Structure 1
Amino acid sequence: MDHKQELQNPMASADADMPLYGSLGMTFMEFPYAPSVKQTDADVVVSGVPFDMATSGRSGARFGPQGIRSASANLIWEGARWPWDFALDDHLKVADVGNVNFKHGEPQTLVDNLQRHILQIMESGKKSLTFGGDHFITLPILRSVAKIHGPVCLVHVDAHTDTYSGGSKYDHGTFLHHAVEEGLVDDKHSVQIGIRTNYSKDAHGFEVLDAAWVGDHGPHEVLKHIKEKVGDRPVYVTFDIDGLDPAFAPGTGTPVSGGLTMDTALKVIRGLQGLNLVGMDVVEVAPAYDHADITSLAGATLALDFLYVLAHNKIHHS
């Protein structure tokens, strides 16, 4: 077997093949590569989902996992990442299992394989860190997360609510509408952050901290609202990179001006310490629209700080 074949992820099933751009060039943060969830004792499993067939605007998020992993090379030199006072590897085991396979042009194979994959992670007692791909991928993820943890509280950073009832069966703007209808998310104990596009406020079950409110009140107040809402319930974090202002994340399919700064976003992620976190995804990174890899770097940095939060929680609850 040659080197390229060794890096191909074997998460294929009878109804799926290796998608375009599905090979694994490097792992996130150079964490150990694991051929499957069952073949690692890691606390957290990193997965990529190179899927953007549910986009309504500019495609290209299929390159997100590749871009985020590549940009993470800029972060690996720091033993104990600022502002943390410990080295991640000393307290948290992380493995990258590569990309979820699906049959190109057949979205349902992505749904089936991603649900199967995330369920395997959840059943093993591990936590998931997933790189999209467009935001549709969060719906299959939540289906599997909810099977183990029940309806989860969502901390959702985005320019859009993604609760729109229209659209097709596979649509990155409707995933949360379906998640609520299917009982996967506890909307009364969830928070949406950074919203700055139109949505129907009538019967909107989520608390919305829109981008202007966040800019006026800052991350401390955002975290206060999050912690009051979720309490000790299971929490899943979904971070659409377009929640950031395009100045910090131009490489995305639906950029909207007036978003969060990177400083605010990082302070919110770091402030999730103590919550019952079960997983996170970073979606909608589209490197083709990027400049100097700053959007991919933003996604990698947010993901890395989430891992530090998990390590902090493990240290203080062990």
Structure 2
Amino acid sequence: MTTPESGFGAELEPFAGITSFMRLPVTRDLTGVDVAVVGVPYDGGTSYRSGARLGPRRIREASVMLWGYNNALAVKPLDVLKVVDYGDVNVIPPSITESMANIEARADAVLAAGATVLALGGDHSISLPLMRAHARKFGPLGVVHFDAHPDTWHREFDEQPYSHGTSFRRAIEEKIIDPSRYVQMGLRGPTPEAMDWQWARERGVRAITMDDVVELGLPAVVRTMREALRGPIYVSLDIDAADPAFAPGTGTPEVGGFTSREMLQLVRGLRGVELVGCDVVEVSPPYDHGDITSILAANLAFELLSLMAVRRRGGLEGNGEPRGFSMRAG
């Protein structure tokens, strides 16, 4: 465990220490490591506002306010897990295919060492190579995908197969994802065609729109989300699932999304699932105001880390709901 005297760790004052994620040591030595925080500073797959390549750095800077103890989940993850900041993947800005190959190779290396990947993006194109690596180890993945958009379009740029809007279509086509264990959470906004949300649904994907959230209420949404979650689960969290009032610093903002509080509750609702890997993507600091998007992203990454710690500790109680949140409520 780190101490303030070590110069590292969440126990330091926010103004002190080196701004790795939670002021953790930066190392490629994964001996005995449980979780590796991996930066993926790539945004060549964006279709509107770029800038997500700066996301990992700013999320790390915002993480200085993560003091270490998660009151809602009653866990101090750094006391349960050995976590390091693995640094960044070497990406090639002009080449999405070369960048994806590098991302996949780094994820393979982390997984081969027995550590779990917590990736900080970068745009949503980075999720495809990350999921490829995870599926190689765990088999077809169940996925919880927080996003305003389905990211199951066939093409965004002429005949180019890869962008931040095609990752999950490619993953289904490559049989990386088990559609019956895949949940899209937070869909909303206009689309080019009426059928743009249908492709995934026709293959068994469970899509929960923001209209569904309003009609059902958050507790019922969490229950619905969990119904599909069995086996190894990968969580991909696009920050634009949050309303731009709470996360303006993103590439493709859509009005009518989740509040920050709702995002925290939804992630905490995953307590007890077999979380084998995750990413937080689409934070674009040039469009952020007062770092509120980066602060939210850092906190959501902390919640994901806390879920891993709760499961490792064996602290699942009852139906797995966090303190102060009842999934039985109407």
TM-score of Structure 1 vs Structure 2, range by shorter chain: 0.7 to 0.9
Residues 42-65 of structure 1 show CA distances to partners (whole Å, capped at 9, x for unaligned) of 211100111001100010000000
- Alpha carbons of structure 1 residues 280 and 79: separation in structure 2 relative to 1, 3 Å: closer
Q: State which of 21, 33, 53 in structure 2 corresponds to 1:28.
A: 21
Tell me, yes or no, if the aligned pair for 2:30 and 2:113 is still in contact at 8 Å. no
Q: State which of 168, 174, 178 in structure 1 corresponds to 2:170.
A: 178
Q: CA RMSD in A?
A: 1.6
Counterpart residue number, 1:18:
none
Q: Which runs of 5+ in 2 are unaligned?
A: 1-17, 317-330
Matching of residues 138-287 of structure 1 within 5 Å: 138-167=127-156, 168-197=160-189, 198=191, 199-201=196-198, 203-231=202-230, 233-287=231-285
- Alpha carbons of structure 1 residues 121 and 258: separation in structure 2 relative to 1, 3 Å: same
Specify the code of the residue in structure 1 equivalent to 2:164: H
Specify the code of the residue in structure 2 equivalent to 1:172: H
Equivalent residue pairs, number = 289
Specify the code of the residue in structure 2 equivalent to 1:73: V
Tell me, yes or no, if the aligned pair for 1:190 and 1:226 is still in contact at 8 Å. no
Deviates more, 1:51-60 or 1:216-225: 216-225
User: How far apart are the structure 2 equivalents of 1:230 and 1:217?
Assistant: 19
Matching of residues 68-107 of structure 1 within 5 Å: 68-75=59-66, 78-107=67-96
Specify the code of the residue in structure 2 equivalent to 1:129: L
Counterpart residue number, 2:38:
47
User: How far apart are the structure 2 equivalents of 1:209 and 1:58?
Assistant: 25
Specify the code of the residue in structure 2 equivalent to 1:213: D
Task: Give the deviation of 1:266 after TM superposition.
Answer: 0.7
User: How far apart are the structure 1 equivalents of 2:214 and 2:64?
Assistant: 31
Runs of 4+ in 1 over 3 A off after TM superposition: none
User: How far apart are the structure 2 equivalents of 1:298 and 1:276?
Assistant: 24
Specify the code of the residue in structure 2 equivalent to 1:150: G
Task: Give the deviation of 1:286 after TM superposition.
Answer: 0.1
Residues 58-102 of structure 1 show CA distances to partners (whole Å, capped at 9, x for unaligned) of 100000001100111122xx3423223332221111111111002
User: How far apart are the structure 2 equivalents of 1:71 and 1:314?
Assistant: 26
Q: TM-score scaled by structure 2?
A: 0.84
User: How far apart are the structure 1 equivalents of 2:294 and 2:169?
Assistant: 27
Task: Give the deviation of 1:317 after TM superposition.
Answer: 7.1
Q: Which runs of 5+ in 1 are unaligned?
A: 1-24
User: How far apart are the structure 2 equivalents of 1:280 and 1:235?
Assistant: 9
- Alpha carbons of structure 1 residues 79 and 144: separation in structure 2 relative to 1, 3 Å: closer
Tell me, yes or no, if the aligned pair for 1:44 and 1:127 is still in contact at 8 Å. yes
Sequence identity percentage = 41
Q: State which of 129, 139, 148 in structure 1 corresponds to 2:118.
A: 129
- Alpha carbons of structure 1 residues 257 and 276: separation in structure 2 relative to 1, 3 Å: same
Q: TM-score scaled by structure 1?
A: 0.87
Tell me, yes or no, if the aligned pair for 1:45 and 1:121 is still in contact at 8 Å. yes
Matching of residues 10-21 of structure 1 within 5 Å: none
Local SS of the residue matching 1:190: strand
Task: Give the deviation of 1:263 after TM superposition.
Answer: 1.1
User: How far apart are the structure 1 equivalents of 2:179 and 2:117?
Assistant: 21
